[in-house]
Amino acid sequence: MRGTRAAGLWIVAGFVSAMAGLPCARACNSNADCIPQNPAPCIRYSCQVPGSPGTQGCGSEPIDAGPCDDGNPCFVGDHCIGGYCMSGSTTGLNCNDGDPCTADTCFPSGCVHIALNCDDGNACTTDTCNGFSCTHATVTCNDGDSCTTDSCNPSLGCQNICSSPESCVLGEVAHINIASNKTLLAWDQVPGAATAVYDVVRGRTDQFPVGTGAAESSVICGHTARIRTDNTVPPAGVGLWYDVRGRTGCGPGPYGMQSNGLPRTTTACP
């Protein structure tokens, strides 16, 4: 007979008649011949009419005492009551991982360790679990740029607003160096802007200076480092030029200056 398990116990339907999984044509000669393929843990199977096949010779009865296993590792001390395997009341599997920043729970499938959620929904704090509680350290929004007013918005995070755009115009990037492998670019920091990001553009040497060629394109816009690899191969007989400008909250610097004193621009990184 096959039992079905629900909510930590085995439910046996028809103790005597439902010997599921037992070959009907086989005659029983011992109790072992009457044990089905998936026996319920709290049922005793026996050969009641030796020599008779299947359910004609086999019978079963509920076990009302003794240990069993309900398949749930979270408890030990499971025991039979009236044919049912009841979960024990003693904790079995120890799920304590020793980490105070996780909630440890035992499920029939095993231990689960859920990290404590310390997110306070405030973009102006760094949220971590420290010991048995969450800590919310205030973030530092100082960008080191005297041209910006620094603050923090709980929804948006750090805000570095240009405070004097007229007096904080960026200068040119002085030097752009190309390594001997012809793919690695490096450049100087734009003067007076330690936190600037950089726009890198390239064009063909037969379409120079910047802002005048149809083939101009961006290598990267808003780059935080002062080094970049570009593996672009120029057309046969033509070289490539590169130009870099800095950009802060007060606006972008120039890609160079025209003879009339106006900054050069390009739509590649506008």
Number of structural domains found in the chain: 3
For residue 203, being part of any structural domain is answered with: yes
For residue 48, being part of any structural domain is answered with: yes
For residue 128, being part of any structural domain is answered with: yes
For residue 96, being part of any structural domain is answered with: no
| DSSP codes of every residue in 141-158 | ---S-TTEEEEEETTTEE
Shared domain check, 181 and 163: no
Rounded Cα distance, 253 and 247, in Å: 6
* Structure confidence at residue 54 (pLDDT): 66
Shared domain check, 78 and 42: yes
pLDDT in tens, 182-193: 999 999 998 777
Shared domain check, 163 and 183: no
Shared domain check, 146 and 181: no
For residue 105, being part of any structural domain is answered with: no
**The domain boundary residue, chosen from 136, 167, 198:** 167
* Structure confidence at residue 16 (pLDDT): 39
For residue 35, being part of any structural domain is answered with: yes
* Structure confidence at residue 1 (pLDDT): 34
Range of the domain at 137: 116-167
**The domain boundary residue, chosen from 27, 56, 90:** 90
pLDDT in tens, 22-71: 555 578 888 988 888 888 889 999 998 888 876 788 888 999 999 998 88
Shared domain check, 74 and 24: yes
For residue 103, being part of any structural domain is answered with: no
Shared domain check, 216 and 247: yes
For residue 263, being part of any structural domain is answered with: no
Residues in the chain predicted with pLDDT less than 70, given as ranges, are 1-25, 54, 165-167
Q: Are 42 and 71 in contact (CB under 8 A)?
A: no
Q: Is this model's pTM higher than 0.75 or not?
A: no
With b for 16 or more beta-carbon neighbours within 10 A and e for fewer, the 80-98 pattern comes to beebbbbbbeeeeeebeee
* Structure confidence at residue 18 (pLDDT): 38
Query: CA 213: distance to chain centroid?
Result: 44
Rounded Cα distance, 263 and 253, in Å: 8
